[in-house]
Structure formats: C-alpha cells, structure tokens
Amino acid sequence: MSLFEDLPALSPVQFFGLSSDCLYLKHALTSDKAFLLPSTSDLLSEDSFADVYTSWNVDKLCFFIVSKAPFQNAGDGDFRRGDSVELFIDTRDLKTKGVVSRFCHHFVFFPVQVQNFYGREITRFRGEDIHRLCHPEDLQATPDLDDDSYRLSIEIPSACLHGYDPLSFPRIGFTYRINRTGAPPQHFAVSSEEYTIEQHPATWGTLKLIKD
C-alpha cells in the first residue's frame, strides 16, 4: 500500500501554507479592516458568508465574527448541524507534529447560550500529551443578533491557552470552521471536506502575532 494513498489531493492554499498577520490589541476589537483575516473561500471552493477579525495581547486572543447568515438554531445536540463557530489554536504552531498535542485547542462558540454557556473547549487528544480543558465560564462571548445576520465577540484568556507565550513564540497555528444551519460551513486555510481538521494541526494556517 502506498504511503500517500490515504491522503486527499492538496489544494493550493494547503500546498504553499497560509499565514496572516494578527495585530496587537490596544482597545476593544471591532470590524476595523486592519484586523480582518483574508478569506480563503475561493481557494477552498466554498461560499464566504462570514468575516473574521482577530487580535492578541499577552492576556488573551480576541475574535470578532460577522456572519451574513442569520442565526437559526444551535444544532439540537450536534452543533455542526446548526450555527456555531469553531476555533482551532496551536499555541506553538508545531507544523511538524502529526497529532494533537498539549499546545492544541479546539473551542466552539454559539450566538445563544447552550447548556448555560456561549462557548466551551472540546479538544480531543490522541495520546498522553494533553492539557486540562478550560472551564466554560472562563471563556467570554458576546452575541448580537439581527433578523438576517449575527455578530459574535469572543475573548479567550491566556489561562485557557496552554503554552501561550506570545513574546517568546510570536506565532500560533490557527484555523476555523463556521457552521450554519442547512448549508456548508466556511473554513480558513484547510477544508474539513478534505481533512478531519481537529486531528491534523499540521494543516492549520499560521497567525503571526504582530506588535507595533
């Protein structure tokens, strides 16, 4: 059996790798275009329905999601069938690591409360290289819903990010999956149609933590 038989074809964005600047946060994160992540939807052959803004400081990572699709439901037990935002973070950007390590994190956030919280960590490790999952109450999310769209402001404190040390390691591995009811999701850098992205951090993009 060939070593590469189980690997799907690589898209251009995966083959060359993708990185983007993530600017330092001085005030609250808003929809300032300086903080906007580039869209990779065209490269991944998918619809773009959300804008994602990112920023950082030594205390936290911040995200601001602007969805042009309305909130409909939270998935009724399977959040990927509803409206949710998944964030995947590797605090050391270990592209040579083939499995999820203790530096990897998988969070899911909702525009409404689910089991009394807007977000939680759901990282699944494949070995003994693990960290303790953060408590949902330590994550901060503030939704703003309209009839035809929603916005979700997210803050992940450094205490919830094992290995997060942006002054010594000024880059992180990162991707997202934004799920919506009744339609395909939107991704950054790598599509879950090709990879089980929660199990393959080496395929994630890179955010360069820039401080002016």
The verdict on residue 159 lying in a domain is: yes
The verdict on residue 4 lying in a domain is: no
At 138, the pLDDT band (50, 70, 90 cuts) reads very high
**Single pTM value for the model:** 0.92
The yes-or-no verdict on residue 148 having pLDDT over 80 is yes
Q: How many domains does the chain have?
A: 1
Question: Which tens digit of pLDDT belongs to each residue from 155-165?
Answer: 999 999 999 99
Question: Which tens digit of pLDDT belongs to each residue from 12-37?
Answer: 455 447 899 999 999 889 899 999 99
User: Closest by alpha carbon to 153, among 163, 139, 136, 166?
Assistant: 139
- CA pair distance 206, 212, nearest whole angstrom: 19
Range of the domain at 131: 16-210
The verdict on residue 10 lying in a domain is: no
The verdict on residue 9 lying in a domain is: no
The verdict on residue 167 lying in a domain is: yes
- The CATH number assigned to the domain holding 48 equals 2.60.40.1190
Give the DSSP H/E element, type plus range, for residue 13. Answer: helix 12-16
pLDDT given at position 61: 98
Q: Give me the phi and psi of 85, to 5 degrees please.
A: -125, 120
The yes-or-no verdict on residue 3 having pLDDT over 60 is no
The verdict on residue 176 lying in a domain is: yes
The yes-or-no verdict on residue 201 having pLDDT over 70 is yes
